[in-house]
């Protein structure tokens, strides 16, 4: 399967909606898209993972890189609407302790 990436900008907020699978094949495309967004000073990058059906460790690596980049540039990274199997991957690896993961679907309206 493929990965579809939609990006929307609202001021300092960058919204990324993903659908499909994040694996060794699609992760480079995701990294190429998301890292430049994290390099805007004080930007908040919100990634909607509701339509992501599968993710492997390469996907985790992309989000770790994005987290490091947002911290370096004084921004924030927030992941929203993760499916249970994808959330479990973040939980098992301990990344739920370092990445802001929001389960409430009203994040975009409440920023």
**Model pLDDT for residues 60-90, shown as the tens digit of each residue:** 999 999 999 999 999 999 999 999 999 999 9
Q: What's the pLDDT at 107?
A: 42
Q: What's the pLDDT at 111?
A: 38
Would the pTM count as exceeding 0.75?
A: yes
Residue 26 has pLDDT above 60, yes or no: yes
User: What domains appear along the chain, each with residue ranges and CATH number?
Assistant: 3-102 (3.30.750.24)
Q: What 8-state DSSP symbol labels residue 27?
A: H
Q: What's the pLDDT at 58?
A: 96
Average pLDDT over every residue of 33-58: 95
**Token pair for 33:** 């898209």
Straight-line distance from the first to the last Cα atom of the chain, in angstroms, rounded to the nearest whole number: 32
Q: What's the pLDDT at 51?
A: 96
**Phi and psi angles of residue 104, each rounded to the nearest 5 degrees, phi first:** -80, 125
Q: pLDDT band for position 109 (50/70/90)?
A: very low
Q: What 8-state DSSP symbol labels residue 40?
A: S
CA 44 to centroid of chain Cα atoms:
11
Average pLDDT over every residue of 91-103: 92
């Amino acid at each position: 399967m493929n990965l579809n990436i939609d990006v929307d900008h609202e001021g300092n907020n960058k919204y990324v909606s993903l659908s499909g699978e994040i694996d060794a094949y699609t992760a480079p495309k995701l990294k190429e898209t998301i890292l430049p967004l994290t390099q805007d000073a004080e930007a908040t990058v919100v990634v909607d993972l509701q339509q992501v059906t599968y993710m492997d460790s390469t996907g985790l690596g992309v989000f770790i890189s994005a987290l490091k980049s947002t911290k370096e540039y004084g921004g924030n990274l927030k992941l929203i609407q993760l499916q249970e199997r994808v959330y479990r991957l973040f939980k098992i690896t301990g990344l739920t302790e370092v990445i802001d993961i929001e389960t409430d679907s009203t994040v975009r309206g409440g920023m």
